[in-house]
Amino acid sequence: MTRKLFGTDGVRGTANTYPMTAEMALRLGAAAGRYFRTDGRNRHRVVIGKDTRLSGYMLETALTAGLTSTGMNVLLLGPVPTPAVGFLTRSMRADLGIMISASHNPAHDNGIKFFGPDGFKLSDEAELSIEAIVEGEIVPARPENIGRAKRIDDGIGRYVEYAKTTFPAKGRLSGLKVVIDCANGAAYKAAPQVLWELGAEVVPVGVEPDGLNINARCGSTFTRTAAEAVVAHGADLGICLDGDADRVMILDETGHVADGDQIMALLADRWSREGRLRGGALVATVMSNLGLERFVTGRGLRLERTAVGDRYVVERMREGGFNLGGEQSGHIVMTDFATTGDGLIAGLQFLATMAETGRPASELVRQFETVPQMLKNVRFAAGQEPLSDPAVRAAISDAEARLDGAGRLLIRKSGTEPLIRVMAEAEDEALLAQVVDDIVGAVERAV
């Protein structure tokens, strides 16, 4: 069966247009309820979290209606980070967890992500089963078996206390000044609170959500605002989260940005030396820089590559028994601590290294020299298939021939937006720019 609703990270789209409509959210909730409530009893529960988008109210209400209509009891967490939903699904013995968020996307988008009772995102097979139920007739519960819904006031508090436990027991952040950019998103309360309670002097950025400013000129996809704050306040570190706080970018005291590859390199090296890196491997996607691969193999470790998407990183980690993985975009997955990427906890691990070594962030964010990499995106309209165009295929074939042995090429559809992503790596920057521009030009002509 072909996936129609679900992409690489749940269901996503522009709010109030298909599939991000109240009607579809209601059907998704009812289908998920029917999928998980198989015994007709009323003890089943689902936790729902959301980020700060205006459309979250609409989707939360519709999902609740669909879930209760099939007999699920709903626990509403309000705005919490995505990793908090994974944690609380398992902690509160829920059958299902749902996060309403479009992550790093702008405010006019939204999405719905599902977590199983173990706190991990649902498998492709489970999502396909829910899609099949959506397309059929959904049988509602009997009137006496309709579910209940209630708000949970201490969801953030539970997550805050748990996040603090992931920092070394005897460690404190006293004497460190930290800029935390919450992207006007889901972590705007939790992240500053965790850092302050651990002893840091906190400079909060992006903590005034209004429903429309999530990820707007702030957060992990726009680090300039936090970089300016780091320099202006003389901070030791900047931590930039995205809208649902499952991604992170780290800024040193000069405002220099370390992406997910550099953070993974630091943690892999440290954990390996401490005997904490399980399986002798780091799991990353095909997007991670060739420099990371050279760094890892140079230390006698392996780099396991997966398809793009943190869910595929997590699947490989679980299959192989690995405990560290992630994406260049800032998803850092540490299964010792969380079931999905957790930007705040990744930031705490970086801070723990600073505190334990006494080294400044500028010495820790540059773990390896990156191989020149270029990524360009081309937007396409619904119904278009630019990668099937003969001219585009010819441009890709020509680029592969020119890069043979001298670089790497990756062309793919985004799983979260209508974009063709064109990425290449090569030591020869002139060749790199030329092959990327040739392919981008061919795609632009095709669309």
Active site residues: 103
Q: Outline where 166-278 has alpha helix (H).
A: 190-197, 224-233, 260-273
Contact 269, 292 (CB under 8 A): no
Which one-letter DSSP state was computed for residue 139? Answer: P
Tell me how far CA of residue 437 lies from CA of 253, 374, 388, 413, 443, in angstroms: 34, 10, 18, 17, 10
End-to-end CA separation in angstroms for the chain: 27
The candidate with the shortest Cα–Cα distance to 343, out of 376, 300, 377, 310, is: 310
Structure-block tokens of residue 419: 């974009």
> Using CA of residue 310, residue 122, residue 246, residue 334, what is the dihedral sign?
negative
Task: Return the number of other C-beta atoms located less than 10 Å from residue 233's C-beta.
Answer: 15
Torsion of Cα atoms, 270 then 276 then 279 then 284, to 10°: -50
With both helix axes pointing from N to C terminus, report the angle between 343-357 and 82-91 in degrees, rounded to the nearest 10: 100
Contact 331, 81 (CB under 8 A): no
In 315-341, which positions are buried (b, 16+ CB within 10 angstroms) versus exposed (e)?
Answer: bbbeeeebbbbbbbbbbbbbbebbbbb
DSSP string, 361-409: HHHHS--SPPPPEEEEEEE--TT--GGG-HHHHHHHHHHHHHHTTTEEE
Q: Outline where 198-322 has alpha helix (H).
A: 224-233, 260-273, 290-297, 310-320
Helices then strands, each counted (H, E), the chain = 14, 18
